[in-house]
Structure 1
Amino acid sequence: MVYYFTSLVASNVIYMGKDKFENEDLIKYHFPEDVWFHVDKHSSAHVYLRMSEGQAVDTLDPQIVEEMAQITKENSIQGKKEPMVKIIYTLASNLKKTGNMDTGEVGFHNRNIVYSTAVKRNKELLNKLRKTQVEIYPQDLKAVKDERDKKERDTKRKEQQVKTQQEKELIEKKRVEKLEKSYDSMFVDSKKGNKYDVDDVFGEGGEYTGSDFDDFI
């Protein structure tokens, strides 16, 4: 079973696994642009924020970060007992999973884009968030991920089609421009070939010298 919450600030979807096996499903079915939250140096649920268009992990609304931190702390056996804990978070695409890792365990591709925040328990906020909680099954996560991936493939295919068409149009434009330059060159050469200088017949200044037409007098 997977728990879904709704952010009180921006209606973002928040989801987390019930145990380490469901955490493994979340690793498998997250969106690359989701943001992963976890209690630092303690075991805890993996909690994910599904960002909306225009949101970025490094400029998240502090209130959304607070919500995520509260849910994460509350779902850590040890972290829940601590008066304050450090919560770490990063893009889900930054999570690294290797074959030698335990179930639910992850690492990072880049430690430099792992952020953190400190949090104390806020009972009032947690109660409000609990009212938005629903349960779904992991296969529903898979269906959502499959649909998302299909839309992404369709978008990329359309973008590639547009790019290919633009490249064809550019090639054709260059071909036409080259052809037009070739015609212009031929026309100029033709005019030069048919031209003669009036000085050749009439002499300098246009006066007839008689040298070329004496036989007709």
Structure 2
Amino acid sequence: MVFYFKARPEAGDYTIFMGLDKYENEELIKYGFPEDIWFHVDKMSSAHVYLRLQKGQTIDDISEGLLEDCAQLVKANSIQGNKVNNIDVVYTPWSNLKKTPSMDVGQVGFHNSKMVRTLSVEKRINEIVNRLNRTKVERTPDLKAVNAAERAERKQHMREKKRREELERLEKERQAEIRSYKGLMVSEKMTSNKQIAETSKSLQELEDDFM
């Protein structure tokens, strides 16, 4: 089971989601998307909350409002973190999550700690949590199938992109060749038949020279 939430409308069309338990979290870790940003209460047990960005966006594109929604949701879904004030929430791109065979179910590390950011949360804001909960939808998606379909779409997109780039390259080469040919054909560099006739010796002159 995965729970889906809609972020504040003024921030744009963004979906926030989290797994029902550590086993569902394991699937989310395994089958995430490059646009997913992972959130967790620092040094405390909490839900794994994800924000799915638009394609092409990065962690630097997250607005303050979106960050606040995600931070409040992850705090509200931490047994210990929901009871205390002044907690830290860590977040990082899904691609930075590290999973090794020795880790427990739902446990995760990082490939690069420098890519992990920290957000301070002073207290729970019920207005935000309640608004998010009103948009809550429960689903049981086939994450593996969804991920495979997304990967296939991305591969097709990359093939099309490479094809466009190759066509653009060939067109640039063709245009360069045309410009080069035109440069050779400019009038200043050409010799007309009249000029050849004026500078060439007549048949009679050639016969005189021979004699």
TM-score if structure 2 supplies the norm length? 0.78
Secondary structure class of the residue paired with 1:212: helix
Q: Matched residues in 1 for 2:6 and 2:167: separation?
A: 42
Number of positions where the alignment pairs a residue of Structure 1 with one of Structure 2: 200
Counterparts in 2 of 1:168 and 1:38: CA distance versus 1, 3 Å: same
- Which residue of 2 is the match for residue 132 of structure 1? 135
Q: 1:33·1:50 contact (CA, 8 Å) conserved in 2?
A: yes
Q: Matched residues in 1 for 2:117 and 2:26: separation?
A: 22
Give the partner amino acid of 2:2: V
Q: 1:3·1:135 contact (CA, 8 Å) conserved in 2?
A: yes
By how many angstroms is 1:25 displaced?
A: 0.6
Tell me the percent identity.
Answer: 41
- Which residue of 2 is the match for residue 4 of structure 1? 4
- Which residue of 2 is the match for residue 205 of structure 1? none
RMSD (CA atoms) = 3.4
- Which residue of 1 is the match for residue 89 of structure 2? 87
1:19 aligns with 2:15: no
- Out of 147, 150, 156, the position equivalent to 1:148 is 150
Q: 1:25·1:138 contact (CA, 8 Å) conserved in 2?
A: no
Q: Matched residues in 2 for 1:64 and 1:174: separation?
A: 48
Secondary structure class of the residue paired with 1:99: coil
Q: Matched residues in 2 for 1:8 and 1:31: separation?
A: 22
Q: Which has the larger radius of gyration?
A: 1
By how many angstroms is 1:36 displaced?
A: 0.5
Q: Matched residues in 1 for 2:101 and 2:50: separation?
A: 22
TM-score if structure 1 supplies the norm length? 0.76
By how many angstroms is 1:122 displaced?
A: 1.2
Q: Matched residues in 1 for 2:184 and 2:128: separation?
A: 75
Q: Matched residues in 1 for 2:19 and 2:78: separation?
A: 12
Aligned pairs for 1:1-217 within 5 A: 1-9=1-9, 10=11, 11-53=13-55, 55-119=57-121, 120-139=123-142, 141-169=143-171, 196=200, 212=208
Give the partner amino acid of 1:6: K
Secondary structure class of the residue paired with 2:27: helix
By how many angstroms is 1:168 displaced?
A: 4.1
By how many angstroms is 1:154 displaced?
A: 1.4
Q: 1:22·1:138 contact (CA, 8 Å) conserved in 2?
A: no
By how many angstroms is 1:167 displaced?
A: 3.9
- CA deviation profile, 1:77-109 (whole Å, cap 9, x unmatched): 221222221000111112122222221122222
Give the partner amino acid of 2:17: Y
Structure 2 runs not aligned, ≥5 long: none
Q: Matched residues in 2 for 1:134 and 1:183: separation?
A: 70
- CA deviation profile, 1:137-158 (whole Å, cap 9, x unmatched): 141x334333322221111111
Secondary structure class of the residue paired with 2:28: helix
By how many angstroms is 1:174 displaced?
A: 6.5
By how many angstroms is 1:42 displaced?
A: 1.1
By how many angstroms is 1:47 displaced?
A: 0.4
Q: 2:37·2:52 contact (CA, 8 Å) conserved in 1?
A: yes
